Amino acid sequence: MWRLGKGKDGNKGKNMKRIIAIVCLAIAITANAIAQQAKDVTNNTSNMKSFKSTAWLLPQPVLIIGTYDKEGNPNAMNAAWGGQWDMNEIIISLGSHQTTDNLAVNPEFTVAFATAETMVASDYVGIVSGRNTPDKMEKTGWTIEKAPNVNAPIFKEFPMTLECRVKQKIDESETGYYLVAEIVNILCDEKYLAEDGKPDVEKMGLITFDPVHHAYIQLGKTVGKAFSDGKQLK
Ligand SMILES: Cc1cc2nc3c(=O)[nH]c(=O)nc-3n(C[C@H](O)[C@H](O)[C@H](O)COP(=O)(O)O)c2cc1C
């Protein structure tokens, strides 16, 4: 690699020309990038507005993660950055929280799906930490029981809950990690079962997190059949 200031005197002229060429190239690349960005932001032809890259994957879930601390006290937190990872596995992007401390001593937890009815307390557990609020769970008013298959609490007000066990922590540091967990079992309140005996998602009043306006939006009606309606166009 050619480095500035390392050539002999006789090479000074050559090096100066190289510097001028590199500076010109850098100016040309920058000008092109600025022009391209301006074109993207005001893309009038397609009536599309551009926004800089951010965490706007839609829709995002409202996951309530239930854990026990080392004394067996229950805790809950809200997580939107999570999803299905494999057939029996989920992934959650986890920061440094009371929940993280709890999982370090007891690697089992529950994931409940928040609803319009549980929304206020679900938001509350996402803005207050068990690290400095000992009565956090009392404030929610939720009915708490031990999950049948994992050492973690379930909150009875939620229609459906996954019982999970930590399988892997990816990129672990003091700021958190990506948590991969096995789904050990799925619990569904019988009130929310459909005629076929499976969970009726439409009945549950589930909410999603809107990262654009920091809002919670309730899911609506079933509008079609997956892996099926598309066949009309085959
Ligand atoms: C809508 C919403 C989404 C959130 N998503 C995440 C998330 O995906 N990952 C995360 O680590 N924290 C997330 N948080 C922040 C935690 O829920 C929050 O820091 C909480 O107070 C942690 O509680 P704890 O310290 O008692 O465990 C979210 C909070 C809200 C309100």
For the chain, give every domain's residue range: 60-218
Please identify, by atom number, the ligand 1 atom nearest to the C-alpha of residue 82: 8
Does residue 59 have a cis peptide bond before it, meaning omega lies within 30 degrees of 0?
Answer: yes
In this model, does residue 41 exceed pLDDT 70?
no
Distance 127 CA to ligand 1 centre (A): 7
Q: What pLDDT does 21 receive?
A: 52
Helix (DSSP H) and strand (DSSP E) numbers for the chain: 4, 14
Is the CB–ligand 1 distance for residue 101 below 6 Å?
A: no
Is the CB–ligand 1 distance for residue 130 below 6 Å?
A: yes
Q: What pLDDT does 133 receive?
A: 98
Best mutation site among 58, 60, 67, 77 for ligand 1 pocket (most ligand atoms within 8 Å of CB) = 77
Give the pLDDT band of residue 124 (cuts 50, 70, 90). Answer: very high
Cα torsion at 180, 113, 142, 150 (round to 10°)?
-40
> SS3 for 166?
strand
Distance 77 CA to ligand 1 centre (A): 6
Please name the residues in contact with 146: beta carbons below 8 A apart, sequence gap of 6 or more.
152, 153, 154
Cα of first residue to Cα of last residue in the chain, in angstroms, is: 56
Q: What pLDDT does 156 receive?
A: 98
How far apart, in Å, are the Cα atoms of 67 and each of 73, 141, 142, 164? 8, 17, 14, 10
Give the pLDDT band of residue 46 (cuts 50, 70, 90). Answer: confident
60-218 CATH choice from 3.30.470.20, 3.10.560.10, 1.10.150.20, 2.30.110.10: 2.30.110.10
Q: Could you count the other beta carbons within 10 Å of the beta carbon of residue 156?
A: 14
Which residue's CA is the nearest one to ligand 1's atom 15?
A: 126
Q: What pLDDT does 130 receive?
A: 98
Residue range 138-163: mean pLDDT, rounded: 98
Q: What pLDDT does 189 receive?
A: 98
Q: What is the mean pLDDT of the chain?
A: 88
Q: What pLDDT does 5 receive?
A: 30
User: Tens digits of per-residue pLDDT, 175-219?
Assistant: 999 999 999 999 999 999 999 999 999 999 999 999 999 999 999
Q: Could you count the other beta carbons within 10 Å of the beta carbon of residue 5?
A: 5
Q: Which residue has the higher pLDDT, 118 or 5?
A: 118
Please name the residues in contact with 181: beta carbons below 8 A apart, sequence gap of 6 or more.
89, 90, 91, 92, 109, 164, 165, 166, 167
pTM of the model: 0.84
